[in-house]
Each structure stands twice: as structure tokens, then as C-alpha cells.
Amino acid sequence: MEKEQEQKAKNDENLEDNETENQGVKKSDIEDKEEEKEITPEEKIIELEDKLARTFAEMENQRRRFEKEKEDAFEYGGFSLAKEALNLIDNLERSKQVLENDEKLKDTDALKKTLEHLKIINNDLISIFSKNNIKPIECLNKKLDPNFHQTMMEIEDDKKEPGTIVHEIQKGFTIKDRLLRPALVSVSKKTQVKEEESQENKGNLDSK
């Protein structure tokens, strides 16, 4: 009987402890909610205004990206087609060179007429390209510009400044303000003999 009373007393104590803990948890929850409620209406408005401003800024950035992509598509949508079309001009130039180097055709009327027709076709193509803002890059006697020219070889020439374009191997083109393909060129350089002489003269002066 005594044992049953002791067990009952312990159970009552445990129930009291659990109720105390539950009350503590409830108080903690209430305190947290009260802290959340401490945000003033003014602060809430500022928070909402900040979120709204961020949303508008993101929408504006997306609009600008869309406008830029649309503009590029309109301005440069034919970039790949234009680049492929340049092969027509290259093939015309190769055909011209083959005909000019053919010994059997030299100084014949057939050759002259054929070259005239090739020239007309070439000029027509250049005109069509020009109307679509595809223009050839100026090369001969110009200073080498890595943005538009690509050096394929150097040619000794004391009459021109080093780095001057003396021969155009393949014509380059731009489309509006973009490079379609660079011009392949040969540039001038000083002759080796004069370079060696200048080095010898410099060495002699240094020795004196």
C-alpha cells in the first residue's frame, strides 16, 4: 500500500514538472510573437518599399537585356550568312588567278572577256555587300592594325616604314562596326643587311 502511495506521489510530481515545462514553452512562444509584433508600421513600409524597388530594378535589367538581344538580332542577324557569302568573292579571285596564269589563254580575247565578266560579278557582289553595311577593309600602304589585319608574311622593303602593308593576300570585311573577318596581309620590314650593318656600327661606336 505504501509503495502504491509513493508511486502515485512520483507520478504527480512528474505531471507538475511537465506542466511547468509546457508553460515555459508557451511563454517562450508568446515572447517570440511579441518580439515579431514589435516591428512598427513605418519599418514594415520601408521593408516593402525596398522589396518593390529591387523588383523594379530586376525588371528593368531584364528589359534592357531583351532590348539589347533584339537589337543585336536585327543588326547582326545575318552575320553568319555574310561570312559564308565571302567565299564567293574568294572563289572569283582564285578563278581569276588561275585564268591569268594559264599559258594557253594568255593574250587571248577569250581571257580578256572572261576577266571582264569576273570583274563585273565581283563589283556587283561588293555593291550588294556595301548596301547591307558589309564593307572591305582598306589595306595597301596602311599601317598594320591587329584589330583588322592579320600578318601572314614579312617582305623586305627599305622604301616603306616597317609594318606597312605592301600586299593583300585575302580581303577582309567588316559588318557595321564589327569585324567579319580580318584581312590577310604581307608587311614590310628592313633588309637584313642594313640591320646587320647598323648593329656592327653600333658595336664599333660602343668600343670607341
pLDDT of residue 25: 46
Same domain, 162 and 114: no
Q: Structural domain of residue 98, as residue ranges?
A: 85-132
Same domain for 69 and 10? yes
End-of-domain residue from the set 115, 132, 149: 132
* Contact (Cβ atoms closer than 8 angstroms) between residue 174 and residue 148: yes
| pLDDT digit string, tens, across residues 27-47 | 555 555 555 557 788 778 888
What pLDDT score does 79 carry? 77
Task: Answer whether 151's CB lies under 8 Å from 187's CB.
Answer: yes
One domain for residues 95 and 162 = no
Residue 187 has pLDDT above 90, yes or no: yes
The C-alpha cell 514594415 sits at 44
* 7, part of any domain: yes
Q: Which three cell numbers stand for residue 52?
A: 518593390
What pTM did the predictor assign? 0.54
* Sequential DSSP letters for 41-84: HHHHHHHHHHHHHHHHHHHHHHHHHHHHHHHHHHHHTTHHHHHH
**Residue 80 domain flag:** no
Instruction: Note whether 110 and 165 are same-domain residues.
Output: no
Least confident of 20-34, 76-90, 95-109, 175-189: 20-34
**Does pLDDT of 200 surpass 70?**
no
Considering the domain architecture, whether residues 40 and 97 belong to the same structural domain is answered as no
pLDDT band, very low/low/confident/very high, at 120 (cuts 50, 70, 90)? very high
Q: What is the pLDDT of residues 133-185, one digit of tens each?
A: 888 998 888 899 999 999 999 988 888 888 899 999 999 999 888 899 999 99
Specify if 79 maps to a domain.
no
pLDDT of 69 higher than 90 = no
Residues 128, 148 within the same domain: no
User: Tens digits of per-residue pLDDT, 2-18?
Assistant: 555 565 555 555 555 55
How far is it, in rounded angstroms, from Cα 165 to Cα 189? 10
Whole-number pLDDT of residue 202: 59
Percentage, residues of the chain above pLDDT 90: 19
* In a shared domain, residues 20 and 37: yes
Per the structure, how many domains does the chain have?
3
Kindly state whether residue 78 falls inside one of the protein's structural domains: no
For the chain, give the mean pLDDT.
77
143 shares its domain with 185: yes
165, 138 contact by CB (below 8 A): no
Residue with cell 617582305: 155
List the CATH number of the domain containing 185: 2.30.22.10
